[in-house]
Amino acid sequence: MLTEMDQNKTPLFDALKAYNKSKVIPFDVPGHKHGVGLPEFAEYVGSKVLEIDVNAMECLDNICNPIGVIKEATDLAAAAYGGDYAYFLVNGTSSGVQAMIMSYCHPGDKILIPRNAHKSAIGGIILSGAIPIYIQPEIDERIGIAMGMSMEKVRIAMDEHPDAKAIFLINPTYYGAVSDVREIVKLAKKRDMAVLVDEAHGAHMSFHPELPIGGIQVGADMSAISTHKTGGSLTQSSLLVLNNEKLDVQKVKSIINLTQTTSASYLLMASIDVARKQLAIRGEELLEKVLELSRYGRDKINEIGGYYAFGKDLIGNPGVHDFDETKLGVHVKELGLTGYGVERILRSKYNIQVELADMYNILCIISLGDRKESIDALINALREIKEKYGKPGRGKSIITPPLKNPEVIISPRDAYYSIKRVVKLRDSIGEISGESVMAYPPGIPVVTPGEKITKELVEYIEALKAQKSMLQGTEDPYVDYIKILGMNS
């Protein structure tokens, strides 16, 4: 673990400001040359933004082989999260998730993974050639969403697959549920399994004592962290934190460089540098206000009646060891509404954008940039929606994701590279899928390449389509057709 470091420093941001102050005459890329070549855009976003949108050079270091100010900045980030080493990511946490899996898994290696993992994890499995051993998360049938993994299912999976190279965790889930990460790490270490943590929605958690604990803090080997989601940095900027001195950091770097751009945005990287400083120095103070707003919003929404804003009351339910209160999920089914419908009404009638909607819920992310006025606007809008659109007692029965994991017939990698043909979705029952289907957000696959398509899966996809869920993964944008393995007859 890195020694105590001065978290007030922002080495990359400082170097970028010094470069801008020096008034260099640029004969390198990018071609807009400090914004001069793109005046309309510069006028709107501000000239400073384009003045520091520059290319790698000696004084600014290089993301592909950091030895200067980027290395200093990533060391500070690693120390802030309690790790040994860190890398900046400008392809989002998706690239970090894939790098984690590829760092530990070779073709044919097993990896234990919750079924509600993000699509990027499936991408990592395809790229690595690993064999996924899915652990079914607990499903809360009252609100119709997947939670974390129970310790019982984790133990069973580890006992049945002692040769697995790694276990993949989500901390927290999109909706805020947290598995018992500390105990899972202990079990994995006894079995010499690596622990890889997707903390896309947990960048803030390490900086306040009343929030769930971060994976690195309890001994996980690697964590991919979306600083842009809840940490304050710019969209697409993330961190990969390493917590194992035995891990070959140069190998990890080479894996990241396989897919990450060689032209990393200094705007993105500098924003991580500053966001890390803010969290490290003022995180507890700022997150205290975030928690106050989250609790206020949750209480007021529950007072309206008909809605259920769920939170820490779920702790103790299957798959919920802890809960991230900054995720303000609201169940709307009892008003005879769908999450998709409430999302559309909020945007079209009240100019409010939520993070996601599903069949029965909406999810609002409360973070460093929220203020009480915005929470009040949400509360008032939900109160009016109940009065104008609510139809209590007319809510349909809960349609949950399929409770049984699909049968994996061949590895996702082999399926991805196999010969495929296109059929109507309804005609795919009994066949082997050649592509993924997922609702996005949150990007959790219903079916992935190599899995047998069942009637239950098709009916669930059709139910999502009927509610105008944003489905992705198939080449057909409307998911009327799907690719299956095999040649046309």
Supply the CATH number for residue 433's domain: 3.90.100.10
Query: What CATH number is associated with residue 299?
Result: 3.90.1150.10
Per-residue pLDDT band for 291 (boundaries 50, 70, 90) equals very high
- Residue 1 reports pLDDT greater than 60: no
Say if pTM beats, i.e. exceeds, 0.75. Answer: yes
- Same-domain status, 366 and 442: no
Residues 373 and 420 in one domain: no
Whether residue 287 is found in the same domain as residue 336: yes
Q: Give the pLDDT confidence of 238-248 residue by residue, as tens digits.
A: 999 999 877 88
Task: Evaluate whether residue 182 is within a structural domain.
Answer: no
Position 272 in a domain: no
Mean pLDDT calculated for residue range 60-77 = 97
Which domain does 307 fall in, by range? 283-389
d(CA 304, CA 380): 9
How many structural domains is the chain composed of?
A: 2
pLDDT in tens, 436-479: 998 766 667 889 899 999 999 999 899 888 877 778 889 999 99
User: 70 lies in a domain?
Assistant: no
pLDDT tens digits, residue range 383-418? 999 999 998 876 666 666 676 778 889 999 999 999
- Examine the domain organization and report whether 385 and 448 are in the same domain: no
Q: What is the pLDDT at residue 442?
A: 66
- Greater confidence (78 vs 395) lies with 78
Is there a domain that residue 335 lies in?
yes
